[in-house]
Structure 1
Amino acid sequence: MATRARERLLDAAEELFYAEGVRAVGVERILDVSGVGRASFYRHFTSKDDLLVEVLQIRDRQWRAWLSGTIDGWHLPPGQRPLAVFDALAERFSRDDFRGCAFINTMVELADRTSAAHGVAAQHKQKVIDYLDTILAAAGHADHEATARQLALLVDGAIVTALREGTPDAALRAKEIARAILASAR
């Protein structure tokens, strides 16, 4: 039963943090939504920050699995995969529950580069760069490491712009910029 309580806490926290923000959601709210008692919360997590770190670690694995699974599921040749990232993002931005990037949101809200949550968010961004690097290398791009960092900047910019504008169009505009970057890198 303790495992189920932990899962309920993680599920409730993920949903609430993403929908309402890390600072806006207190432990009491997480307890109410999860139906877990305070003593059980503290058996599983030392603090809300500890819970946040685990939520971000889980979300990192899920988000990266979603991205690579989406790209792999389209069965594209290697040369088309880097640009397909932006098509995947456009689909994500079209969802009713899209509220930006949980990792960017956390870094902005906490504004503490030394926090454990910031560290997890920064690691997530590096893993996304690593994924982009992998698909760029597979596509035959010589300067794939530098190009991966450029595309990651476009990804983050598209995410923030899509949130600001409320449409998936930012992903398609970023795709066109990425297309120009990839063409010039050839």
Structure 2
Amino acid sequence: MFFFLLIASIASAQQDSLLVSQEGRSKRELKKEQREKDYEPYNALAPAKAAFYSAVLPGLGQAYNGSYWKIPIAYAGLATGVYFYLENDKQYDRYREAYKNRLAGRPDEFTVDGNTRITNDGLIRAQEFYQKNKEISILVTVGIYVLNIIDANVEAHLRQFNVDEDLSVKPNFDFDALSGKTNYGLTLNYNF
């Protein structure tokens, strides 16, 4: 009877050790499965798609990438460029109309009681100034539009960059059974 109890307890201990090792293994497997579930496969067309979406409608590439907070920034930049273009165009037309009226001998808004507040040269310089500012506003608006496309493309590339915790530096202790000495070192683990 004692012999039977001894065998039963040994069998139970072995079964428990197998369960522990299977539980440890299953935890590792679960962790690996979780990592694989979180990992998205590389999509080579994602950056091109994001850039195309941003080219069609500014901010759409950022929405495709999930960076919704960048959309108001893109639209604010574009709206600012358009606002300054329209304002400079209005001022350019104002000074242009005054110059044309003065050349035709008609009164203009800068002539009060026969006195001119701005000379003909001043009107020409004002037209040149506002024309230059209109062109700069167009360049700034186009630049912001292009930056919107580039941002969507680069972010789509970087979203696919694998930043995994499998890259680690750990101390390593290796016991050499032949010589009886312990070797110390660092290991760099990188799993593909």
TM-score, scaled relative to structure 1: 0.21
TM-score, scaled relative to structure 2: 0.21
Q: Which structure shows the higher helix fraction?
A: 1
Q: Which structure shows the higher strand fraction?
A: 2
Structure with max Cα Rg: 2
